[in-house]
Structures are given as C-alpha cells and as structure tokens.
C-alpha cells in the first residue's frame, strides 16, 4: 500500500486535531479537523492510502456544537481533483490556458500591469477583493493596491453584501459593527423583528438562539416576501412586496407614535434628529402602507405593538431590505424605529445586521473599500492618511484618493477612463455581480485579467493569468465574525505542491513592481503585527489583539486597544452606555419612501427577487464541486406560485425562460404555494444559462452603491412557445 497524499507531518501526527473555523459564512462555526487515513482504489486498481481531514463540530459560542451541511463537507475541497496546482497563462486572446511556472506568470503580470499603467495611468489597473479573505490578506491586498500599484482602483464584493447596512450604521451610530452585541444576548429579547433574513438556510446553527428566545416566551416576527423555513418558525410573518421595507418601517413607527408607545426619555437623553424624522413619519398612514406593501393593517399593528410593548426587543436585518437601491434609507428607517422605542443599548435590546461572508466584517475594515484605509478610517481624512503614510513608510501625497465602487469600476472596464487591467482575488464576479452580461462585456474588453482562486471559476476561465492559491485549512490568519469577534483560523495541513498563499503572491508581484521593501514578508503573523499598528487609534482598533489572546478567550471583540492587559476581552457591547459619535448620541435620519429602480409592468409583470439556498455558497464555485451538495441541489431554479404557473401554462419541474430588461436565464420552475402571487424567486449560485444575475438590475443605492439584487421586473415563459 502506498501513501498518495502527504500531509503536514505535525498535523498528521496530532491526535487532538486542529481547532479552527468553517471556511464559509460569517457565523464562523467552530470545528476540529483531524487527519484520518482513508483507503482508496487508484486508476490501476491498486488499494492506496490517502490522508484526509475529518470535520467534527466544536462547542464554540457561535455554533454551540452545530454545523450545517456546508461545514460538514468543507474539507472535501482540499483534495478535490479540480483544484488548481499550477499557474496558467493564456498567450493570446481567445487561445487556451496552459500551465506555466510561477516566475513566468508573475513576470507577465508585473509587465502587463506596468504596461497598462504607462499607457493609461496608474488607476487603469484595478483590484477586486473579497469578504472571504482573512484580515491579513484583506489588509495586504489594500496595501498592495495603494503602495504596490499606487492605484485608486480597488473595491470588493462586500459592496454587494453589507455596504447598505454599513453606511446606515455609520451614520446612526458612528460605527459599523454588524452586531453590536454577542449572539448570547439574542434569547434575552422579548420580541425580535427579523427583516429579510433567512438564517434557517443561510446560518442554520444560528436558529438555536431564536429557539431559546421562543422557549423563554419570546416572539419572533419575520418580514420576507417568501414563507421561508425561518418564517415558518415565526410567531408572526409579514409578507411585503419586494422593495417595500422602507414603507413598512415608516408605517411601524407611525403606528407606535400614534399609539403613544415611544420612549421620550431615551430619545431626549441619547439621540439627536428626532424632530425631523418624526415629521416624515407622519405621512405613512397604516392604510397607505398596506396598499404599497400588501401587509394588512391588522398585522402591521400587531407587529408594532409586539415590538413596542416588549421590555426588551431587537431588530435584525440582512440582505432582503439592504440589497435595494434604497437600502441605506431602509436600514436607517429600522434604526429610527428602535431608537424611538428606546430599544438600543440595554442588554437584550438593540439593532443589528447579520454579516454574510466568513470575514465580511473584518474584510470591510482594513482597506479593501475604495474609500477606506485600515482601522475603518476614511481615505479622505488627512490625519488617517498621515498615520498610514507613517506605517507604510511612504509620503502622504503618494497614497491615492478614493476610487470607484465595485459595480462602477466593473461596468467601466475597458471603457475610456475605466480600468484596463484587473486583479481579482477571491470573488467570482461572472456569476455574482449584477447584470452579468455587462460584466462579461467588460472583462472581454480588458487588456489583461488576473484571477487568484482555488478552482478554475467562471471568472478564472476568462483570465489571461490564473494563480492557484492556498485554502483556509492550509494557512493561518484571523477572521472577524458577525459579532465583531476576532477569531484565529489555524493551519491544519500544508498546501499542495505548486500552490502559493495570496499574501505570498501579492508580495512577489510587489517585488517585481519595485516595492519589494514594503512587502518583505508574507507571513500572516508579521502582517497581523503591521495591521495592529495600522488600526491603532482607528474605529476598528485591533492594536490590543494577538493570536494568543484570541486563543485564550474564544476570540476578542474589537475595538480592543489594551495591549498590556492579556485578559482584556475587547468590547462585546460598544453601544451599551453611549454611541461612538462626537456627542455620544445616536442620530435619527429623516427618510422618505421611494419605489424600486424598476417595478413590474405589463411587459415584465413579476417582481424577481434573488437569494440563497442552504446547500450552496455564493457563486457556487466551491459548493457545486462538493458531490453531496451538488447532488442535493443540482440545478438553478425559479420559485413561482402554482396559481400563476397555471395562468402561464407552466408545469412544476419544467425548464422555463425568465427574462428582464437586461437578459434571460433558463431555470427550472419550482412551485411554491406560500409565495406571493406577484413574486418569482431565484437563487444566484449557478453560472451559465441558469445565472440569476443575467436578470438583476444594477440600480445603485446613491450612498452605499449597493446594487438592487432583491428587486427587478421580470417575465416567465414556456421555452417551446412559438
Ligand atoms: N447557504 C448559504 N448560506 C450563506 C450564504 C450562501 O451563499 N449560502 N452566503 C452568506 C452571505 S455572503 C450572506 S450575505 C448571507 C445572506 O443571508 P440572508 O440575508 O439570510 O440571505 P438571502 O437569501 O440573500 O436573503 C434573505 C431573504 O430575503 C428575502 N427577500 C427578498 N427580497 C426581499 C425584500 O425586498 N424585502 C425583504 N424583507 N426580504 C426580501 C428572500 O426571500 C430571502 O429569504 O448568507 C450567508 N450564508
Ligand atoms: N443575484 C444576487 N447576486 C448576489 C447576491 C444576491 O443575494 N443575489 N449576494 C451578493 C453577496 S451578499 C455576496 S457576498 C456576493 C458573493 O459573491 P462572490 O464574491 O462571487 O463569492 P464567492 O462565490 O464566495 O467567491 C469566492 C471565490 O474565491 C475563491 N476563494 C475562496 N477562498 C479564497 C481565498 O482565500 N483566496 C482566493 N484567492 N480565492 C478564494 C472561491 O473559489 C470563489 O471562486 O454575491 C453577491 N451577488
Ligand atoms: S453555518 Fe456557516 S459557518 Fe456554520 S457550518 Fe454552515 S457555512 Fe459554516
Ligand atoms: Mo454576502
């Protein structure tokens, strides 16, 4: 018997296994990876031994021993046969990709970037990052753009995810920490209003907290156009039309005001701006709100009273209300509601938003955003620029200014003034960006595309150079979960021969660009030390956090600037006594309703909304390659109400054409008797003809630049109709 796959001998000999976290979502469930020998039959029919990491759940505060199916199967991708293990180069447009050495690939990248910058200026080379990257990688990528390439053109997929909630939290509270309290506070809320979030599928172990809350006699109100598994478990389900959450929030505050349920002591003591907000709310009569949202007045009133009369209450939002062209105002309206009720701060009460990607929180703090420097600093703030110039050893004037947001940068690719070369690290934009026909056009018009990925994703397939990168269990780093808790993701085994880490790749390119002295390391721990210094004094201050401290106390909540005190746990509840605004008060925002960028009409009579299913993750580049997950959900589909399907002559399970003003997709019809009659729902986990983003509307929120993934107008047809 021969050994096929030689693992890190340290890990292989460890009997305890490695305590780490799941590679996927922001819950960052704790798991232990233990090496096990498995017997296989090779191509010649010989029995061989292979080493493989077994997953077992860990009793960590977020998952308390639970894992979803994606977590259980996550190690299958480490030894997957599709795994990239050598750089690939395309010699001419339209030609094939061929294997190449690292030197050849990196030289080609450096020359192409320099060539484009000489011809079109520095900002013509763009960088696109991802919220799945560790803090170290996200920080290194931001530094690579500003110091290595000296380009203003950097943004990331978090723009498509948390940007609306982030902007609303910043303007209300002066800080964007998705949940400003730990998950353990959730069961303390008598009433929870959960808006456009489906953790039953997107974070299954999270549901334990709602179960406990309900066991204590609490109420859960779910706002979702679909009757999801989460809505099924609720005390009350409100089913508004997509894109009308802002109206709903204004209506709830109107009812609470009318029925004298506000906390005027809290409003006076801890907030500003109430008078202006109150004035706008006066217009949102319950009957008017019912007309626009479709939620009956009786249910609106019941929800408002359940929330206002509870001693403790929480509102939690996720992508439903946020991925709209008015996502920021919508989140602001829900924050207003909680402030007016005096339900922000005391334990068991508060407003929070559920971050999605594994490091969605940390990934938006350390410089991947086009307008941001590490520590959640603004790139326009002269003091922040001075501080970073010192940390990086450059002149303040050399740090570029703010660039374009994600969709603005991507849709301008290849156009005058747009980027002509792009480096994509950890995102599959050909599947996940809105209006993908435009994204494909842009990628084709680029002079040069580089993609760093684990697999030949749909985006990597279009690249001029593809770089194979290490996976989660093969490198260490820190992740900041949905609670703002900084975690240590440990290394459990070595990466396969030929694969590099993203930090090593970036440092090697920087060297070839003449910035090697600023990128003299690629070790995560050394980069984390630099990140600590970079974030010191910023809003997201990590200066008091170390790997050892994280290990000792199940993670550290930022901000944490206490370097001396090894026991300092950081700040689990930053809003408990005051808000991090200049006057310590939270700020109401006067917001008014406006319709979605596109509403159903005669030609496109349905609302199309998009989202997730349990077994697949994001663009599906990873989970479509896990046999169990692919088998359970093999193809892209669209949910439709059976009564509407009958009108259109559509059978359950048949392939249909769904189209919008931007394109068409071929999807399998799936009947859902609990869906609103005017809504179609499609998940976005597939590429090709079944890609939901062929249809979505890139109407952007004016503040956050979030595209309207959750609302567009669409029609559905039988494929074989004349
Ligand atoms: N299985 C799985 N889990 C994941 C992910 C994944 O891809 N797959 N991704 C992770 C990431 S990055 C994220 S951001 C989170 C997202 O987590 P969620 O926000 O829970 O996921 P979504 O399915 O995008 O949207 C939630 C719900 O919003 C509803 N919705 C649609 N339109 C509207 C609307 O106009 N108003 C309201 N109120 N609701 C609406 C949808 O019906 C859906 O049930 O999940 C994380 N977890
Ligand atoms: N229609 C519609 N579209 C949406 C959404 C929606 O609700 N509806 N949601 C949006 C949201 S919330 C999000 S977060 C985005 C996510 O969409 P994407 O950014 O496309 O997310 P992923 O599929 O996670 O892409 C990650 C890619 O990086 C690779 N990868 C994983 N880890 C690493 C790493 O450490 N290094 C490198 N170099 N590569 C790595 C994976 O193999 C994969 O190809 O989609 C958005 N798009
Ligand atoms: S809920 Fe999220 S973190 Fe937990 S196992 Fe599933 S994908 Fe992983
Ligand atoms: Mo996300």
Instruction: Name the percent of the chain lying above pLDDT 70.
Output: 97
For position 7, what pLDDT does the model report? Answer: 42
Cα–ligand 2 centroid distance for 161 (angstroms)? 10
For position 10, what pLDDT does the model report? Answer: 47
Cα–ligand 4 centroid distance for 15 (angstroms)? 36
Which neighbouring-strand residues pair with 177? none
pLDDT, tens digit, for every residue of 46-72? Answer: 888 778 999 999 999 999 999 999 999
Q: Whose CA is closest to atom 1 on ligand 3?
A: 203
Is the C-beta atom of 622 inside 6 A of ligand 1? no
For position 721, what pLDDT does the model report? Answer: 57
Q: Whose CA is closest to atom 13 on ligand 1?
A: 356
Q: Which of 320, 325, 641, 678 best tests ligand 1's pocket when mutated (most atoms within 8 Å of CB)?
A: 320
Q: Can you tell me the distance from the alpha carbon of 79 to that of 38, in angstroms, rounded to the nearest whole number?
A: 12
Judge whether 682 and 640 are in contact, CB under 8 Å: no
User: Residue 690, Cα to own-chain centre: how many angstroms?
Assistant: 22
Is the C-beta atom of 624 inside 6 A of ligand 1? no
pLDDT, tens digit, for every residue of 30-52? Answer: 999 999 988 878 788 888 877 89
Per residue, what are the HEC states of 103-116? HHHHHHHHHHHHHH
Residue 141: which of 545, 426, 543 has the closest Cα?
A: 426
Is the C-beta atom of 203 inside 6 A of ligand 3? yes
Q: Mean pLDDT over residues 336-362, rounded?
A: 97
pLDDT over threshold 60, residue 12 = no
Q: Can you tell me the distance from the alpha carbon of 292 to that of 302, in angstroms, rounded to the nearest whole number?
A: 18
CA angle 630, 636, 709 (to 5 degrees): 120
Q: Which of 30, 199, 205, 479 best tests ligand 3's pocket when mutated (most atoms within 8 Å of CB)?
A: 205
pLDDT, tens digit, for every residue of 450-508? Answer: 999 999 999 999 999 999 999 999 999 999 999 999 999 999 999 999 999 999 999 99
Q: Which of 229, 612, 638 best tests ligand 1's pocket when mutated (most atoms within 8 Å of CB)?
A: 612
Cα–ligand 2 centroid distance for 683 (angstroms)? 14
Is the C-beta atom of 683 inside 6 A of ligand 2? no
Is the C-beta atom of 63 inside 6 A of ligand 3? yes
Cα–ligand 4 centroid distance for 355 (angstroms)? 7
Is the C-beta atom of 359 inside 6 A of ligand 1? no
Is the C-beta atom of 198 inside 6 A of ligand 2? no
Torsion region of 243: left, alpha or beta (phi above 0 gives left; psi -120 to 50 gives alpha): left
Is the C-beta atom of 614 inside 6 A of ligand 1? yes
Residue 484: C-alpha distances to residues 431, 555, 571 (Å): 28, 9, 9
Per residue, what are the HEC states of 547-583? HHHHHHCCCEECCCCCCCCCCCCECCCCCCCCCCCCC
Ligand 1 atom nearest to CA at 231: 44
Is the C-beta atom of 205 inside 6 A of ligand 3? yes
For position 633, what pLDDT does the model report? Answer: 96
Cα–ligand 4 centroid distance for 161 (angstroms)? 4
Q: Mean pLDDT over residues 304-313, rounded?
A: 98
For position 47, what pLDDT does the model report? Answer: 83
């Amino acid at each position: 018997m021969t050994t096929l796959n030689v693992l890190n001998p340290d890990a292989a000999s460890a009997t305890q296994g490695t305590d780490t976290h799941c590679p996927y979502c922001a819950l960052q469930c704790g798991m232990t990876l233990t090496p096990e020998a498995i017997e296989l039959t090779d191509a010649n029919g010989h029995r061989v031994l292979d080493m493989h990491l077994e997953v077992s759940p860990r009793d960590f505060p977020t998952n308390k021993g639970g894992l979803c199916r994606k977590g259980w199967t996550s190690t299958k991708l480490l030894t997957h046969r599709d795994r990239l293990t050598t750089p690939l180069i395309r010699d001419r447009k339209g030609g094939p990709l061929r294997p190449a050495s690292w030197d050849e690939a990196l030289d080609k990248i450096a020359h192409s970037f320099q060539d484009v910058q000489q011809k079109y200026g520095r900002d013509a080379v763009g960088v696109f990052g991802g919220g799945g990257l560790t803090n170290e990688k996200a920080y290194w990528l931001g530094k690579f753009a500003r110091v290595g390439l000296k380009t203003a053109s950097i943004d990331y997929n978090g723009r498509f995810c948390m940007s609306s909630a982030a902007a609303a939290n910043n303007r209300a509270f002066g800080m964007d920490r998705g949940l400003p309290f730990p998950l353990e506070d959730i069961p303390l809320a008598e009433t929870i209003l959960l808006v456009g979030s489906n953790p039953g599928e997107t974070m299954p172990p999270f549901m334990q907290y709602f179960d406990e809350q309900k066991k204590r006699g609490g109420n859960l109100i779910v706002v979702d156009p679909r009757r999801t598994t989460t809505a099924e478990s609720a005390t009350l389900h409100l089913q508004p039309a997509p894109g009308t959450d802002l109206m709903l929030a204004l209506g709830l505050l109107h009812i609470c005001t009318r029925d004298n349920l506000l906390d005027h002591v809290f409003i006076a003591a801890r907030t500003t701006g109430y008078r202006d907000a109150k004035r706008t709310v006066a217009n949102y009569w319950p009957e008017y709100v019912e007309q626009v949202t479709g939620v009956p007045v009786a249910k609106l009133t019941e929800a408002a009273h359940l929330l206002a009369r509870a001693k403790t209450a929480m509102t939690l939002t996720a992508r439903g209300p946020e991925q709209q062209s008015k996502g920021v105002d919508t989140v602001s309206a829900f924050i207003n509601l909680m402030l007016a009720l005096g339900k922000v701060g005391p334990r068991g009460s508060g407003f929070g938003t559920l971050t999605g990607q594994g490091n969605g929180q940390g990934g938006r703090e350390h410089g991947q955003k086009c307008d941001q420097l590490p520590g959640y600093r603004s790139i326009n703030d002269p003091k922040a620029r001075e501080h970073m110039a010192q940390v990086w050893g450059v002149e303040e004037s050399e740090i570029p200014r703010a660039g374009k947001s994600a969709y603005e940068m991507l849709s301008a690719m290849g156009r005058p003034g747009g980027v002509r070369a792009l480096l994509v690290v950890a995102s599959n934009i050909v599947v996940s960006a809105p209006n993908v026909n435009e994204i494909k056009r842009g990628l084709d018009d680029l002079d040069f595309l580089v993609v760093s990925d684990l697999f030949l994703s749909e985006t990597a397939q279009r690249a001029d150079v593809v770089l194979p990168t290490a996976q989660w269990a093969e490198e260490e780093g820190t992740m900041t979960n949905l609670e703002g808790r900084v975690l240590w993701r440990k290394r459990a085994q070595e990466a396969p021969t030929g694969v590099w880490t993203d930090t090593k790749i970036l440092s090697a390119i920087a060297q070839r660009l003449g910035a090697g002295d600023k990128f003299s390391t690629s070790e995560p721990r050394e980069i984390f030390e630099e990140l600590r210094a970079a974030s010191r004094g910023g809003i997201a201050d990590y200066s008091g956090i170390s790997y050892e401290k994280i290990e000792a106390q199940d993670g550290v909540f930022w901000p944490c600037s206490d370097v001396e005190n090894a026991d300092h746990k950081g700040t689990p509840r930053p809003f408990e006594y005051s808000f991090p605004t200049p006057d310590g008060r939270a700020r109401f925002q006067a917001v008014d309703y406006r319709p979605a960028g596109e509403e159903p009409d005669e030609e496109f009579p349905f609302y199309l909304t998009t989202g997730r299913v349990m077994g697949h993750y994001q663009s599906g580049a990873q989970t479509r390659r896990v046999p169990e997950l692919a088998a359970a959900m093999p193809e892209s589909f669209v949910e439709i109400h059976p009564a509407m399907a009958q009108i259109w002559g559509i059978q359950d399970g048949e392939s249909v054409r769904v189209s919008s003003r931007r394109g068409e997709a071929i999807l399998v019809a799936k009947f859902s008797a609990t869906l609103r009659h005017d809504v179609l729902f499609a998940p976005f986990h597939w590429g090709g003809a079944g890609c939901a983003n062929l249809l979505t509307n890139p109407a952007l929120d004016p503040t956050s630049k979030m595209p309207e993934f959750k609302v567009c107008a669409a029609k559905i047809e039988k494929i074989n109709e004349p």
